[in-house]
Chains A and B, each alone.
Chain A
Amino acid sequence: MAYKPSMRGKAEALDMELDIRPVMNLMVVLIPLLIASAEWVKLGVVEINVPPAKGPSAGGPGDAQDENKVKEKEMKLGLKIAIAHDGITIGNASALLEGEQGEGPTVPLTAEGKYDFDLLKKKLIEIKKKVKGKGFKDEDRVVLTASADIEYQTIITTMDYVQTYEDDKGDILPLFPQVNFGSILQ
C-alpha cells in the first residue's frame, strides 16, 4: 500500500512575531540611565615633570669644578618664554629675541590686546628648525615664566602652542614638549 502523501507541503508557514516588548522595556530603562551617567565634558591632563627637589648642595669646591667641566661639555639651549602684560618674550640665558620694532617683547600683543600665540608659534618653529640636530641636550625643553598675575588660562594656552606644531604635510610634530616652570617675573 502506498503511503499517504505528505501534508507538509501544504502546511501553512508558521506566522509568528517575536515579542520584543521586554527588550524595548529594557532599552527604555537603560538608555536614560546611561545618558544620565555619561560624561559630557572631556577632561585632559597636561603633564609637567619637575625633577625632584634637590637638597642643599653639600659638594665642596672640587665637586663644583667637576660640575663645571660637565657643563662645558653639554651644550645647553636654555630656552625661556616669559609672559608679561605687554607680550611674550623668547630668550635664553645669553640673549633675548627682539621684536619686529627692535625693542619690547618678541611677540607683542595683537591690536585687540590679546596674546599673539600664532606669531609665538612661528618664532618657536624657526628656533626649533635652527637648533634641531645641533646636539643641544635640552632641545625639547622650554622654561615658562610669567608675571605674578598672569591668568592660568593664558599659561595653559601657551603650553598648548609650545608643545606641538604641524608641519607642511599636516603631521603633528613635537616642538618643545618638555615644559618647565621658572620663577615669577618681577
Chain B
Amino acid sequence: MAFQPSKSKKNLTKEEGSLNMNSMMDMMTIILLFLLKSFSTEGALVTPSEELRLPVSQQGEKPKKELSVMISKSMIMVNDQVVVPDMNVIPKDQMIIGPLASKLAEYAQQERDLEIDVGKEFTHQVNIQGDEKLPFEILFKVMFTCSKTEFYKMRLVTIKKG
C-alpha cells in the first residue's frame, strides 16, 4: 500500500530566495569609475614590438602626440613610414642621416605651410622613440639631424617605472 501523502508538507510554501546584489553593484561601480578615469582617447602613441623596446626611466612627463621618429633595431621610421630600411648603410663619417633629413625637412615644410595657411603653430617638437639597445652614435646622429631640420625640441619617449 502506498503511503498517504503528508499533510504537513502539503501546506509548506516553497522557499523563496533572492541574491543580494548590493555589494557586487558597489564593486562594479568602483571598477567602472576607475576604468573610465584611466580611459584615454588619445590613441596609441607607440606600437610595441620586439624590434622597438623603449628604455625604462623613473621620471618623465605625460607624452603628447607629435611627429614621431622611431629608431628600431634595424630601421628608422618617421610617423610609421620607413625612411632608413637598413641601419648598416648609414655612413660612419657623416653626422646627418640623409634620407631622414629630407623626410623631416618635408614635414617641417608642411608644418610651416600649415602655420601660414591655418595658423597652426609650428611647435618644433618631435618624439624620439628608440630601442633600448640603440648605440649612442645612431641616437646622436638622429638628434643632430632633427635639430638641423628645425625639430629642435626633442623628447625621448620612455616607459615609466613605478
| Chain A positions near chain B (C-beta within 8 angstroms) | 17, 20, 23-24, 27, 30-31, 34-35, 37-39, 41-53, 83, 146-153, 155-157, 159-160, 163-164, 181, 183-184
Contacts and interface: CB of A to CB of B under 8 A. Distances in A.
Nearest to B28: A27
User: Size class of B's contact patch?
Assistant: 35 or more
B139 A31 contact: no
Contacts of A159: 57
Interface string B128-143: 0011111111011001
B156 A37 contact: no
Contacts of B148: 53
Nearest to B48: A41
B12 interface: no
Contacts of A17: 18
Contacts of B136: 83, 146-152, 155, 184
Main secondary structure of the interface of B (DSSP, over half): mixed
Interface in B111-147: 124, 127, 130-137, 139-140, 143, 147
Contact of A43 (B139, B150, B158): B158
B70 to A, nearest CB: 13
Contact of B25 (A24, A39, A47, A151): A24
B63 interface: yes
A47 B57 contact: no
18 contacts: A20-B21, A20-B25, A27-B28, A39-B38, A44-B157, A46-B155, A47-B155, A50-B147, A50-B154, A83-B136, A149-B136, A156-B55, A156-B158, A157-B55, A160-B58, A164-B59, A181-B140, A181-B143
